[in-house]
Structure 1
Amino acid sequence: MTLKIDCQLRDLDFTEVGTHAQKMEEMGFDAAWTFEAGQDAFTPLTLAAAATKNIHLGTNIAVAFGRSPFAMAQQAWDIQKLSRGRMHLGLGTQVRAHIERRFSMPFDHPARRISDYVRCMKAIFDNFQNGTKPDYKGEFYQFTLNNPLFSPGAIDHPDIPVYLAGVNPRMCRAAGEVADGFHAHPIHNMSYLKEVVLPAIDEGAKTRGKSVKDLHVQTMVLIAAGETQAEIDKAVEDVRMQISFYGSTPNYRGVLEHMGYGDLGKELSQMMRSGQMAEMPKKIPDAIVEQVAVIGKLSEVGPKVRERYEGVLDRVAYYYPIPKDAEIGNWKAFTDAVKHTA
């Protein structure tokens, strides 16, 4: 299967989203993903869906525990209808501090809770499409009441692929148990994907008679690209900063340990607590950057991405935003190279 290449739809004024999404479509990207930070993840997708015809659209990620399963299902259903079947719903748990202190929502047993969340949401989708009786009673969530006034009704493309995002084996296993796809974290090397992520997804998938091959596995790729060596060097330092930021979070220590840098995560966490963010990137050695990132000129990185990920994952995405003034031709050449259609 041809490796799909996606991009991020972010850091845009809402008045610019439609035009920029059209450019991404012309550039040959297979999908554009939003994520939940300063903006809601769904508003840009709504604008992009109305302005485009072919590019797929998704969240990577929307914070599941910040919304009820019914509220999430409604938002996804509306965009699926508007986009005529191009919606991908990527969900993440976030971490306890943000769920409890920013979203004012409960956080416990995240893998079990997100599994129950997805099952409940799929029961809601079934009710929307087929009018089935609301009769879901899970460990954390229930859906036992609805009526036609609150149902959006059937649509032409009711099958919305649901992805879970994660880093560690337990969340990978949860995706295998209940989801249609998985968003692997951009902080990884190929060994971690092959030896940790994919086997854990497969373990979970076997509980319902499936395998990892039945799920769509995607990741964002930290690509350090530029036209001059100075631009490439600057991009490498941006990647180094990004790795240090993620590495300071305890959830990502397993990846660093797998790479042979078990003590680095603890050191980065201490530096973050001490306010030494500017010093943190200096702790990331070139060996980690080279394992995590794809580095080179834009005309060179497409084949490198394909060689690294083809046959391992189903789709990858350019981690950083595509500049608003980017030349369509240069990026079309990049996407063609990744998909090997040049």
Structure 2
Amino acid sequence: MSLRVETALMGPDTDQYAGSGQNRPTLARFAAIAREMEDLGFDGLTTPESGHDPFIPLAIAAEHTRKIILGTNVAVSFPRSPMVTAQVAWDLQNLSGGRFTLGLGTQVKGHNERRYSTPWTSAPGPRMREYFQCLRAIFASFQNPDKPSYFEGQHYRFTMLPPFFNPGPIEHPQVPIYAAAANTYMARLAGEMCEGLRLHPIATFRYTREVILPAVAEGAARAGRDMSAFDLIGAPFMALGRNEEELAASKEALRKQIAFYASTRSYHAVLAHHGWEDIGMELHRLSVAGEWAKLPGLISDDMLEEWAVISTYDRLAETIRAKSLGLFSTVVLVLLGEARNDTELLRETVAKLHLD
């Protein structure tokens, strides 16, 4: 069985998770990475919203590639109205020749209110449902200007689209929507309404199998959908090295990344599934206190094994396949440091993951 393989365009690196350092991208760098990742055989190239806009790089990537799928992993929904998101998604779908996928996530209340200056007006799940419904209505109206498909809900309202503001039909009007999920409500919603689900890396392999997959299936059954084409995208944490010494150093770096996410209370259902509730609360306390350097020490080796692909380079594809086959349809290579720039490792790993 083969796996589709994605990677990130200018994703965050280790220091950024520890509270220091940030990528300084350029248009030329976006173009070079996009061309290289397509040449290496990757099926998909994604952009996060981690300090930079997630849509702009994909326009550059679309210009400099021909076949690789381009997507947001993920854009934050609520700070953008459905119309704002629909317009940029429609343009990227058109500019890429139908290669764009729209990955959306809600972010947590604190970030919406205090970082994005966006009111948190209700529980995120029902609001996200309407967001997807409104997006579909807008896309349908773009494609069929003479017969607009309006939407009125509790949280969103789309009832006007003068011809001057309608971008008009495009050749590939079906924009695939992917929900970001680490909880059961969003997983059910993805199964019911979306083309796929982008798992947050905080979801361990066991949590995904025992909690997320049943929720997706429940949502699909509710909508009477066939799950055979549903794309479950896993983005497991990874600790890699050429030898055991490098691997040990990589594991230490990975503790920073995992601790950063595990400090967020919205993700503590994952920790609770493993009996790590107390550790989660201590991580959160330290993050609120700004004591970021203390967080990684709370992530044990046993916890790393549950969350991550841990491997030397020569066994990377084999280790990913062992943990991912039968669980994910697509896997994201979340590479940090030196491994991110090892083109031969990337080419070989992608080729092996493509094998049936």
Q: Report if TM-score (shorter chain) is over 0.5.
A: yes
Residues matched between the structures, number: 341
Unaligned runs of 5+ in 2: 11-22
Counterpart in 1 of 2:26? 13
1:262 aligns with 2:274: no
**Of 30, 38, 42, the match for 1:25:** 38
- CA shift for structure 1 position 211: 4.9
What is the identity, as a one-letter code, of the residue corresponding to 2:56?
A: T
RMSD: 1.8
1:293 aligns with 2:298: no
**Of 72, 90, 111, the match for 1:59:** 72
Question: Is the Cα contact below 8 Å between 1:183 and 1:218 reproduced in 2?
Answer: yes
**Of 58, 65, 68, the match for 2:81:** 68
- CA shift for structure 1 position 262: 2.2
What secondary structure, in the 3-state scheme, does the structure 2 residue paired with 1:207 have? helix
1:109 aligns with 2:123: yes
**Of 308, 329, 332, the match for 1:317:** 332
Question: Is the Cα contact below 8 Å between 2:3 and 2:329 reproduced in 1?
Answer: yes
- Deviation string 1:215-245 (CA, Å, 9 cap, x unpaired) is 2111212111122333222211121111111
Alignment of 1:180-195 (within 5 A): 180-195=195-210
Whole-Å separation in 1 of the counterparts to 2:337 and 2:85:
27
1:145 aligns with 2:174: no
Whole-Å separation in 2 of the counterparts to 1:217 and 1:189:
14
What secondary structure, in the 3-state scheme, does the structure 2 residue paired with 1:65 have? coil
Whole-Å separation in 2 of the counterparts to 1:323 and 1:159:
38
Counterpart in 2 of 1:271? 286
Whole-Å separation in 1 of the counterparts to 2:338 and 2:143:
39
When residues 207 and 292 of structure 1 are mapped into structure 2, their CA distance, relative to the original with a 3 A threshold, is same
Question: Is the Cα contact below 8 Å between 1:217 and 1:314 reproduced in 2?
Answer: yes
Question: Is the Cα contact below 8 Å between 1:129 and 1:158 reproduced in 2?
Answer: yes
Instruction: Tell which deviates more after alignment, 101-110 or 60-69.
Output: 101-110
Whole-Å separation in 1 of the counterparts to 2:152 and 2:340:
50
Counterpart in 2 of 1:244? 259
Whole-Å separation in 2 of the counterparts to 1:7 and 1:299:
19
Whole-Å separation in 1 of the counterparts to 2:336 and 2:283:
26
Whole-Å separation in 1 of the counterparts to 2:340 and 2:125:
41
What secondary structure, in the 3-state scheme, does the structure 2 residue paired with 1:104 have? coil
Question: Is the Cα contact below 8 Å between 1:198 and 1:212 reproduced in 2?
Answer: no
Whole-Å separation in 2 of the counterparts to 1:303 and 1:34:
26
Instruction: Tell which deviates more after alignment, 121-130 or 220-229.
Output: 220-229
What is the identity, as a one-letter code, of the residue corresponding to 1:255?
A: V
Whole-Å separation in 2 of the counterparts to 1:207 and 1:333:
41
Whole-Å separation in 2 of the counterparts to 1:61 and 1:212:
22
- CA shift for structure 1 position 134: 3.9
What is the identity, as a one-letter code, of the residue corresponding to 1:233?
A: A
What secondary structure, in the 3-state scheme, does the structure 2 residue paired with 1:223 have? strand
Whole-Å separation in 2 of the counterparts to 1:324 and 1:312:
24
What is the identity, as a one-letter code, of the residue corresponding to 2:243?
A: T
Question: Is the Cα contact below 8 Å between 1:306 and 1:338 reproduced in 2?
Answer: yes
Q: Provide the TM-score with structure 1 as the length reference.
A: 0.95
1:86 aligns with 2:102: no
What is the identity, as a one-letter code, of the residue corresponding to 2:129?
A: S
